[in-house]
Each structure stands twice: as C-alpha cells, then as structure tokens.
C-alpha cells in the first residue's frame, strides 16, 4: 500500500508539474544543443529535453525578446514571459511632460519606432531626417527623442525592430535597418508602454521587474526635475503600484543612482550597478589597478549587485578554455552578487561573436558553445542571472541546472 501511495503521489506531482509548466521554449534551445560537440555538459543538457520547463529568475528578458520582437513593446515582454523569463526589463526614460516610458535610450525613437513615417510627429524630432549623400560620403541621420513628445504623442507610435539604413536617401529606406539575423515577422504590431503600464503588465505576468534608469540626453535638471527626482520618480511608480521591494531590481550605470536608492528607499537593497568602466581605454578585466573604485569599495558604498557585460567576466586559460576573469574573482571575493548581459545579441557567434565575446572568440567553435559560456558563468563565476534577447535559451539551461 505504501508503494502504491508513493506512485499515486508521484503521478499527481508530475501531473501538477506539467499543468504548471508555462514556459514555451520553441526549437532554438534544442537546435543549439544539437550544435554542441560531445561533452559532459551536452550529455547533462540532453537529459532535460523532454521534461516540463518553468519560469526562472536566472532568465532575464533583455528589453523583452528583441531577437524577433520589437524591443520594449508589450508583445516583446509577453513573448519573453512565455519563454520563461522570470525577470523583465523596462529601460526607463522620460517624455516632454516628464512621464516615464520604456525605451532603451531617450533619443532612439528614429530607429526603434515608426516616428519618421508619421509626418506630424516627425516634425517634432530634435533632428529631422537627413538623407545620405553618396557623393560626399555623408550618412543618413535623424534624432528623435522621447523628450520631443508628450506621453499622449509617444503612445501614438508603434515599435519596430531597432535599426536604420545609414545609406538611405529616403525615409522609407532609412527605417529598413533590421539586422539580417533578426526578423520583421512579428513587427506588424509593436505596442509602446509607459513605465507604469509595464509594471501592471509585469504584475499580470507574475514576473520580477528590473527597470534601468537611463541617462538623460537632455540637460538636467529638466524643467525643475533633478537627477535624484528622476531616480525617485521611478521608484515611486512601484510604490504606487504596491509592488514589494523584493520583486524589483532597479539598475543604473550611474553608481550614484544605485547608492541613492540604497540609502533613501526600500527598493535599494537589490539595486544593480551596471558597470560601464569598460569604456575606459585603460580598462583590463585581468588588472584590478585599471578598475577603480575597487570591488570592496563598491560593496562598502551600499551596492550589493554588480552587472558587467559577459566578456568582462570571462577569459581563456593557457589551454584555451573559457574560465572566470580576475574581475569575476574579485567581485565574488568582495561578496558582490553578479548579473551579466547580454546573451543572444550577437547573431552567429561561431562567425566572430563580436563585442560580447571579445577575448574568448577563439574558444567559440559552434553556435552550441553558447551553453559552454552559460555554464562557466553559472557554475564557475556564480552569476545570479543572465540577460538574454531570446530568453528560451537561458530558461532551458536554468531548468536543466535547477537555477530557479
């Protein structure tokens, strides 16, 4: 009887697991698995193929799922959640009337929305469209900012796949700039969102939230709004929506924003310092003297989570294998939690993975090596989460390795 009872209970639990397995991964994670060379990691991942998959906080939707959906749109966020992203990101900037909205940069509307195809709104752009001139070598250009529009005007726009054609001589040519390894298949709709709307959507999707306070591209203070006012305004929208502090990971490249949240709000304990020190030409992940302040000083200032790009955390050893960098070891030694970015943002990584794989490109032999990178990040570096432009990949790995 005890054996039968165990079987019944096990079956019930399994049925419940399948009933609640809401992550829909599609073919890509399994395609990448098939591309891997034989290894212990491939064997372990292969055992997961037929199991149910669950949402994971390790899997972070970077701007949603912008490999195939227009970034920072309702459709992109929903796609990421369906793929099991347990955390979603709204990059936060502000409009002319100081309303918070989700955009990667304050002045990217000309590449990420259809504003140039709407003459009445394009007329409000900071810099109107200028066609390319093949004779002089001048490239096509435009600059349209969220701060050029009111929230009401902003909401009239439609998100598109981010990109522009620098050789365009017409607006119609300029907006056709989608990278060849992405797609316009899901760009028929692209619903833009205010920050407050994203919070309500994320609540309905039952995911955690990681807003990034974007650097303003207008002089601050802006119509009386200081940088601290801006940082506080973002947090206030979570308070107004009654989102518990433990479900919000506010981010900024400006360490002063993170320190402000830590010392002035309940939401600062999980503040994320996006480490942009790699922009310094002298920066070297293997040399602590080139990244100041030190990890200990960052930790002592109240920061608990640091988030560099993935290449900063990785290097090659003498055998040509991917291993944690000195930067990664120093961050761990200082008791900083680590998040990293961005997976699935480089096209075909086996054909020169580009910026995100600098320093480890020699070890990338196939598309399946993305799992080797993930495995080193998770098991050796010890990252708590990975941003991805296609979260199914990180969700698959996280489920196989029990990172929930």
Q: Could you tell me the pTM of the whole model?
A: 0.94
Q: Residue 367 carries which DSSP code?
A: G
Rounded to a whole number, what is the largest CA-CA distance in the chain? Answer: 87
Domains of the chain (ranges; CATH) run 22-90+193-400 (3.20.20.190)
Q: Check pLDDT > 90 for residue 151.
A: yes
Structure-block tokens of residue 370: 């993305």
Length of the chain in residues, anyone?
A: 404
Q: Tens digit of pLDDT for each residue in 315-361?
A: 999 999 999 999 999 999 999 999 999 999 999 999 988 999 999 99
Q: Check pLDDT > 80 for residue 1.
A: no
Residue 141: strand pairing partners = 130
Say how far apart CA 231 and CA 233 lie, in whole Å. Answer: 6
Q: Check pLDDT > 90 for residue 244.
A: yes
Q: Tens digit of pLDDT for each residue in 247-265?
A: 999 999 999 999 999 999 9
307 close to 338: Cβ distance less than 8 angstroms: yes
- The per-residue pLDDT for 16 is 40
Q: Tens digit of pLDDT for each residue in 79-131?
A: 999 999 999 999 999 999 999 999 999 999 999 999 999 999 999 999 999 99
What is the band of 311 on the pLDDT scale with cuts at 50, 70, 90?
Answer: very high
What is the band of 169 on the pLDDT scale with cuts at 50, 70, 90?
Answer: very high
Q: Check pLDDT > 60 for residue 28.
A: yes
What is the band of 22 on the pLDDT scale with cuts at 50, 70, 90?
Answer: confident
Q: Check pLDDT > 80 for residue 274.
A: yes
Least confident of 19-23, 86-90, 290-294, 327-331: 19-23
Helix axis angle, 227-240 relative to 255-264, nearest 10°?
A: 50
165 close to 173: Cβ distance less than 8 angstroms: yes
Averaged over 172-194, what is the pLDDT?
A: 98
- Write a three-state SS string for 28-92: HHHHHHHHCCCCHHHHHHHCCCCCCCCCEEEEEECCCCCCCCCCCEHHHHHHHHHCCEEEECCEE
Q: Check pLDDT > 70 for residue 34.
A: yes
Chain mean pLDDT for the chain: 95
Q: Check pLDDT > 90 for residue 26.
A: yes
Q: Check pLDDT > 70 for residue 9.
A: no
Say how far apart CA 279 and CA 212 lie, in whole Å. Answer: 19
DSSP string, 161-212: -S---TT-SSHHHHT----TTS-STT-S--BB-BHHHHHHHHHHHT-EE--E
Q: What is the percent of the chain where pLDDT is above 70? A: 95
Q: Check pLDDT > 70 for residue 12.
A: no
Say how far apart CA 39 and CA 375 lie, in whole Å. Answer: 12
- The per-residue pLDDT for 21 is 52
Q: What is the percent of the chain where pLDDT is above 90? A: 93
353 close to 364: Cβ distance less than 8 angstroms: yes
- The per-residue pLDDT for 70 is 99
């Amino acid at each position: 009887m005890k054996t039968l009872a165990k079987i019944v209970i096990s079956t019930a639990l399994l049925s419940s697991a399948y009933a609640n397995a809401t992550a829909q991964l599609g073919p890509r994670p399994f395609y990448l698995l098939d591309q891997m060379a034989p290894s212990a990691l491939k064997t372990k991942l292969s055992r997961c193929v037929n199991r149910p998959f669950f949402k994971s906080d390790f899997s972070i939707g970077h701007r949603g799922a912008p490999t195939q959906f227009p970034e920072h749109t309702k459709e992109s966020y929903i796609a990421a959640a369906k793929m099991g992203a347990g955390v979603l990101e709204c990059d936060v900037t502000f409009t002319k009337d100081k309303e918070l909205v989700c955009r990667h940069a304050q002045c990217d509307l000309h590449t990420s929305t259809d504003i140039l195809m709407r003459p009445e709104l394009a007329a409000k752009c900071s810099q109107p469209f200028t066609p390319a001139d093949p004779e002089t070598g001048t490239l096509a250009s435009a600059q349209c900012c969220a701060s050029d529009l009111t929230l009401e005007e902003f909401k009239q726009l439609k998100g598109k796949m981010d990109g522009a054609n620098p050789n365009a001589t017409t607006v119609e040519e300029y907006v056709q700039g989608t990278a060849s390894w992405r797609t316009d298949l899901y760009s028929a709709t692209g619903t833009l969102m205010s920050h407050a709307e994203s919070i309500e959507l994320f609540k309905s999707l039952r995911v955690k939230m990681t807003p990034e306070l974007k650097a303003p591209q207008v002089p601050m203070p802006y119509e009386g709004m200081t940088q601290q006012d801006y940082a506080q305004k973002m947090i206030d929208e979570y308070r107004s929506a009654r989102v518990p502090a433990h479900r919000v990971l506010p981010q900024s490249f400006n360490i002063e924003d993170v320190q402000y949240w830590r010392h002035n709000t309940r939401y600062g304990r999980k503040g994320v310092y996006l480490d942009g020190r790699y922009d310094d030409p002298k920066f070297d992940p293997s040399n602590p003297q080139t990244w100041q302040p030190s990890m200990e000083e960052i930790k002592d200032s109240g920061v608990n989570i640091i988030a560099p790009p993935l290449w900063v955390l990785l290097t090659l050893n003498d055998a040509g294998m991917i291993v944690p960098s000195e930067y990664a070891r120093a961050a761990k030694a200082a008791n900083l939690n680590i998040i990293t970015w961005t997976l699935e943002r480089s096209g075909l990584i086996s054909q020169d993975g580009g910026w995100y794989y600098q320093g480890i490109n020699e070890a990338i032999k196939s598309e399946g090596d993305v799992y080797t990178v993930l495995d080193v990040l998770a098991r050796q570096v010890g990252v708590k989460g990975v941003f991805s432009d296609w979260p199914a990949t990180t969700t698959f790995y996280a489920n196989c390795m029990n990172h929930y």
